[in-house]
Amino acid sequence: MTVRIVDRRQDSRNKSSVNRGRFLRRFKGQIRKAVADAIARRGIRDLENGEKIGIPAGDISEPQFHHGRGGMRDTVHPGNDRFSTGDQIERPSGGGAGQGKGKASKDGEGLDDFVFTLTRDEFLDIFFEELALPNLVKRQLARIDEYKRVRAGYTQTGVPTNISIVRTMRGAAGRRIAIGGPYSRELRLLQAELESVLDEVPANEDEVRRLQHEIEVLKAKRQAIPFVDPFDLRFSNRIRVPQPSTQAVMFCVMDVSGSMDEAKKQMAKRFFMLLYLFLNRNYEKIEVVFIRHHTAAEEVDEDAFFHSRETGGTIVSSALKLLRDVIVARYASSLWNIYVAQASDGDNWNEDSPVCRELLSESILPLVQYFAYVEITDGEPQNLWEEYSKLQAGRDGLFAIQRIAQAGDIYPVFRELFRRRMP
């Protein structure tokens, strides 16, 4: 007897999406491992695409309850004309006559992997899990000079174009009822008294004239109530509220001197692409500025940034000065969230490294949301690393440095730079 457990809980109308989400949550561990393997195989340029994931079929088996085979059993197989009970069957020679292609497995029977495709969003959600941008919201909203106007009720003053007709007429009607109510009530009493006097025989003419005069006075007072009074006017009120910035600029700063060989440039390129993709998921608009340097720095396009070749020494401060000038000239407004990623092998002119530290501390870090320095080398830390290390104290979440020795270190370093930090 076999018992199968079937989940018949009510789903929403979109049952396929609900079931898919439940599947991703249930096998999250296996999927994360498969995604990690896929990241190692693919290039950074392909990160925005989906991925075909394979999970061993044994890992997705459903729970089953059944009775074990107990006791002694005799089984008769039809068509046996060569063997009798107790005969030993010889092992086939030559490894069998299978028709399959490829190498055989020594582990017995195998099962095909369960293969499915992750969408782009599902793949990136797993890829960026547990990551968070530092200072995603402006650190000081009070300094934001960009505002948007939102409705905030009504006011008694304003320009004619903002007048609210409905609220004005509603207020005028209520005012007329409140002021004219006593007049109407007294008018009804006088009319009733006038009718009773007229019913008398003979009618008192002086009393009739008095009542008619009072009725006319009350009617005049009631008609004198203005239809719309300035007190009734209501205008739509709009106030200005700070508008958080949803745009960012990403500065890519890279050393292209002779000590930065092609392999190091490719690792830097992968890191920049990864950072761009991460920012793209958090901001509506992103601009990218490429600054390369050797002994001099220049702003270039993406193709020249990654593919041009240079020789000579290294003066990193030239790039930092250009970075500062570009920020002040084009991105000084609080509308921009500024991120900087610098990649270098750490080799710099000894007398220039202290200048770099001073530039960062006084001119650049006060302007940016985050500055990440990645040193690409498998050797000992260079003098630039030592100077940058002095800036880390008290700047957690604003400035960070990491080292990359090989391509496999890019993703762990990226996760460490942008991991979610507890407040």
The helix or strand, by DSSP H or E, that contains position 241, with its residue range, turns out to be strand 235-242
Axis crossing angle, helix 262-280 with helix 410-417, rounded to the nearest 10: 40
Give burial (CB, 10 Å; 0-12/13-18/19+) of 123: buried
Q: Higher confidence at residue 343 or residue 24?
A: 343
C-beta neighbour count of 96 within 10 angstroms: 9
pLDDT at 355: 92
pLDDT at 390: 86
- Predicted local confidence at residue 218, as pLDDT: 87
Please check the confidence at residue 107 and state whether its pLDDT lies above 50: no
Q: What is the pTM of this model?
A: 0.52
Q: Is the pLDDT of residue 215 over 70?
A: yes
43-99 pLDDT, tens per residue?
Answer: 544 556 666 777 666 555 566 677 767 667 777 666 666 777 777 777 766 554 444
- Tens of pLDDT, residue by residue over 33-43, are 777 677 656 55
Q: Is the pLDDT of residue 183 over 60?
A: yes
Bridge partners (DSSP) of residue 372 are 341, 400
Confidence of residue 105 (pLDDT cuts 50, 70, 90): very low
pLDDT at 35: 72
Dist. CA 304–CA 31, nearest whole Å: 38
Asked if omega into 134 is within 30° of 0 (cis), the reply is no
Question: Which residues share a beta bridge with 65?
Answer: 3
User: How large is the average pLDDT for residues 185-213?
Assistant: 84
Q: By C-alpha distance, which of 397, 376, 403, 400 is closest to 389?
A: 400
Mean pLDDT over all residues of the chain? 76
Cβ(344)–Cβ(291) under 8 Å?
no
- Residue in 266, 265, 245 with CA at minimum distance from that of residue 255: 265
Q: How far apart are CA 335 and CA 243, in angstroms?
A: 9
- The residue ranking higher by pLDDT, 120 or 401, is 401
Question: How many CA atoms does the CB half-sphere of 173 hold within 13 Å?
Answer: 6
Q: How far apart are CA 165 and CA 338, in angstroms?
A: 46
Question: What integer pLDDT is reported at residue 312 of this predicted model?
Answer: 66
